[in-house]
Structure 1
């Protein structure tokens, strides 16, 4: 019995020695919250003066680092605010209004000025299921780098998981798999102008507190300034990829017409022929209606993590085949 007490005491001392240094260490710098401050030059009340109680509304906040590298010239405070103003105009015909909560600035950890958004995918899409089904089976995963960045930047608040956060950064790099030839794939790294971290792709893998994050890196041309923020919000609130009417989704789809393509289009179509974009938008968990007592009546939340075929959408989905993208006789 004495020997047992001795062994237990020794084990306890060893565990205390191991744990104590960890407890004594300061919180890593990357996890310290950014000290954001309101940008007083932006008149939020004037920006929101056209809001109407009872209409579907989307809350948006802007975070703009104050410590960009001097050579970075791809976006400014004015371009960020103008991008949200353009999004207001684009979503207005769809009956959705944007409520700008704040514009804040502050010094972020310089390591977070450029991040890799997601881990390199392990399994490529094949012809057996479509892109959305493939994403549900093998969802995209945040990198530890991105998770740490968002943890330090996104302020804890009520309705955090229902808010769109536009986070300006210098570079967000997204890796994906692309078929090269035969039965081979290659890893490609794309430098994004904006990235929405949508639920159809990050199904069940992104923390709820950060699921509204959209990164913005380049608004330097008129087309980017006009459409980028509206387009990325579309990924989040319609929960669809780059698609439009008869165009099935893909990583990069260039064509005119719809807001969700790479081009100049701003259309948010409805009905089966429009791939239910308008209907899915109006069902979004990020939308609410302001009641007469000032309370927010939110749309129902996702029932199954927010994949494209989440039960909240009912029949407002498209059952399309996978895309054969290689020689069937491989």
Structure 2
């Protein structure tokens, strides 16, 4: 692990040259909400074959691709491309004990419309969650919706491909803001807007509103601390491929859960547990439509796709779900 980090750090100067070259080759379009596709260029300083040299044919695999803007604002210092590569390397190590490997397809850079460097991810929710249905059922009834800005950004960034719906796209941006509703006092709700370090746009939240070609998008905006670059990419991929929120064993999902133990909590944990007591995280990972096995003929044998858009209770998962109750948000005598 340390050897890999040192190797990646040694690439920093070469990466800087690649980024500068890409920025000069493609002038960023000015203003406006819509934009033409980004003119991406592969970062030649990163040896994809060397990064993937430990892959085992026939083992459950997830494809990951990286889009890294060449025209970040000079003051942006929360991430570098070497740090992104360290985080992906850490994610490989975290998923390895769970029997799943990450295959890096490419790392590309190019000038992104500056309007897309900072976005609001989803529209402000209109209906708050109450005690009558649990979080996943509430999200199924009232799924999140991308803002027009976010949709336009991702459509300009993600290149059309036959495997768009099966590929994880790690998109580096400066700021991605996520609004949600929270009980403030009595029977009142308030809007909170969180500045994310990573956001997975999971199908349990966006199941029938996310364009199919964009369902693999994950934004990464802050890898500035050791705890962030160790777990952020793995945590966000976990949301996408396990299709679960911040939860672990006896901890029910919530927007923010700070605790130790599992990969899907905010903390230092990296555990991906199995069985009903582990909330089926391991099993859901291996059932993910983002997972495939490479056959002896060299073709990818994909897992079955979602049957109902990918909400948490999608029929794809059978009994690998938790039927927990709604959680009271306000006093019952309101």
Q: Does 2:145 align with 1:153?
A: no
Pick aligned residue for 2:172 from 168, 171, 180:
168
Q: TM-score, normalised by structure 1?
A: 0.91
Pick aligned residue for 2:46 from 29, 42, 65:
42
Pick aligned residue for 2:92 from 88, 100, 113:
88
1:235, CA displacement in angstroms?
Answer: 0.3
How many pairs are equivalent? 303
Offset from partner CA, 1:311-330 (integer Å, 9 cap, x none): 01000000000111211000
Pick aligned residue for 1:259 from 252, 257, 263:
263
Question: Separation in 2 of the partners of 1:124 and 1:52?
Answer: 45
Question: Separation in 1 of the partners of 2:212 and 2:105?
Answer: 19
Q: 2:71–2:112: 8 Å Cα contact kept in structure 1?
A: yes
Q: 1:66 and 1:329, CA in 2 relative to 1: closer, same or farther beyond 3 A?
A: same
**Matching residue of 1:101:** 105
**Matching residue of 1:312:** 316
Question: Separation in 2 of the partners of 1:66 and 1:233?
Answer: 24
**Matching residue of 2:147:** 143
State the SS of the aligned residue for 1:62: strand
State the SS of the aligned residue for 1:262: coil
**Matching residue of 1:240:** 244
**Matching residue of 1:62:** 66
State the SS of the aligned residue for 1:200: helix
Q: TM-score, normalised by structure 2?
A: 0.90
Pick aligned residue for 2:304 from 293, 300, 306:
300
**Matching residue of 1:183:** 187
Question: Separation in 2 of the partners of 1:175 and 1:242?
Answer: 16
**Matching residue of 1:222:** 226
**Matching residue of 1:10:** none
1:246, CA displacement in angstroms?
Answer: 0.2
**Matching residue of 2:214:** 210
Question: Separation in 1 of the partners of 2:80 and 2:106?
Answer: 16
State the SS of the aligned residue for 1:132: helix
State the SS of the aligned residue for 1:248: strand
Question: Separation in 2 of the partners of 1:254 and 1:228?
Answer: 14
1:203, CA displacement in angstroms?
Answer: 1.4
Which has more radius of gyration?
A: 1
1:145, CA displacement in angstroms?
Answer: 0.3
State the SS of the aligned residue for 1:30: coil
Q: 2:42–2:108: 8 Å Cα contact kept in structure 1?
A: yes
State the SS of the aligned residue for 1:156: coil
Offset from partner CA, 1:141-185 (integer Å, 9 cap, x none): 000000000010000012111000000000000110010011100
**Matching residue of 1:111:** 115
Q: Does 2:36 align with 1:32?
A: yes
1:29, CA displacement in angstroms?
Answer: 7.7
Question: Separation in 2 of the partners of 1:32 and 1:97?
Answer: 34
Question: Which structure 2 segments of 5+ residues have no match?
Answer: 1-31
Matches of residues 4-43 of structure 1 in structure 2 within 5 Å? Answer: 30-43=34-47
Question: Separation in 2 of the partners of 1:78 and 1:257?
Answer: 28
1:133, CA displacement in angstroms?
Answer: 0.1
1:31, CA displacement in angstroms?
Answer: 2.9
Question: Which structure 1 segments of 5+ residues have no match?
Answer: 1-27
1:30, CA displacement in angstroms?
Answer: 2.7
Pick aligned residue for 1:279 from 279, 283, 289:
283
**Matching residue of 2:10:** none
Question: Separation in 2 of the partners of 1:217 and 1:58?
Answer: 22
